[in-house]
Structure 1
């Protein structure tokens, strides 16, 4: 895996996985993009054909459903941890619940990485290259924004 592909991987993961998790974590807030919207965004970046769009939309739908169920488990386990804490804490119960929470969280992470890999496998090399380029551009934009913010902070802190 090239260095740039490693940079593109988080971008792709964020594009496809984060909305699924965010939607489950905060359903009362603005809804996450649908699988079709996420596919449309990826299509704009790399130019997917209809078969690829359908395949990737299926992967995203599957992930959202699976993550949704697991996110419910995460919330229940987090509540159990809170219930076990306090002055009369149960150390064994805390450790068992924390272990379960770690396992569920690891499953979510694994599913996200597997999905990312499936999506990359569904794309041609040319499309992966386009995604790599988009990741490079995004990283450069972020670097420039950070530099601008640092310069602004330095200007504000400079003695006058």
Structure 2
């Protein structure tokens, strides 16, 4: 994977996963706007890009929410199986289905980032890469400061 793709993916993952994690807590439509607006502030999106991104995010978040609900139900079913009268076959079936759902959630999240990146121009991707590099450098400096503080105690 090229450095550009790694950096862009990291930045988009931060946006996408953060939005996905908090989407259930936000008012309907609020998180999508916030996420697109945040990306717009970073790379200056056109109105068409904003609309396309909102649609992509809405679609993906809907799918991910459904899959997470199903995963929670499977986790509950697995918990209910704990006891002396367990059914190994059912436990294994539920665990396998849960694993597949987890993979599907991951795939949908990565596909969303790929679709977002496809919506951006080359210049916007370069801007996003530059921002991601700056954030990585800030994180590196903060980690180094923390190490120095812990070593000095």
- Scaled by the length of structure 2, the TM-score of the pair is 0.91
SS state at 1:17 partner? helix
**2:138 corresponds to 1:137:** no
User: Shift in Å at residue 11 of structure 1?
Assistant: 1.9
Distance 2:109 2:83 in 1: 34
SS state at 2:23 partner? helix
Deviations 1:21-62 (A, max 9, x none): 3434xx4xxx38611110000011111111001100111111
Native 8 Å contact 1:21 1:67 kept in 2: no
**2:109 corresponds to 1:112:** yes
Distance 2:140 2:84 in 1: 46
Which structure carries more relative contact order (alpha carbon 8 Å, separation 6+)?
2
Name structure 1 gaps, 5 residues minimum: none
In the alignment, which residue of structure 1 is the partner of 2:64? 67
Distance 2:8 2:82 in 1: 40
Distance 2:47 2:148 in 1: 45
Native 8 Å contact 1:70 1:108 kept in 2: yes
User: Shift in Å at residue 114 of structure 1?
Assistant: 1.1
Distance 2:84 2:137 in 1: 49
Which residue of 86, 89, 98 corresponds with 1:89? 86
In the alignment, which residue of structure 2 is the partner of 1:8? 8
Distance 2:107 2:132 in 1: 22
- Scaled by the length of structure 1, the TM-score of the pair is 0.87
Native 8 Å contact 2:23 2:31 kept in 1: no
- Count of aligned residue pairs for this structure pair: 151
User: Shift in Å at residue 65 of structure 1?
Assistant: 1.1
Where in structure 1 do 4 or more consecutive aligned residues deviate above 4 Å?
A: none
Native 8 Å contact 2:8 2:129 kept in 1: yes
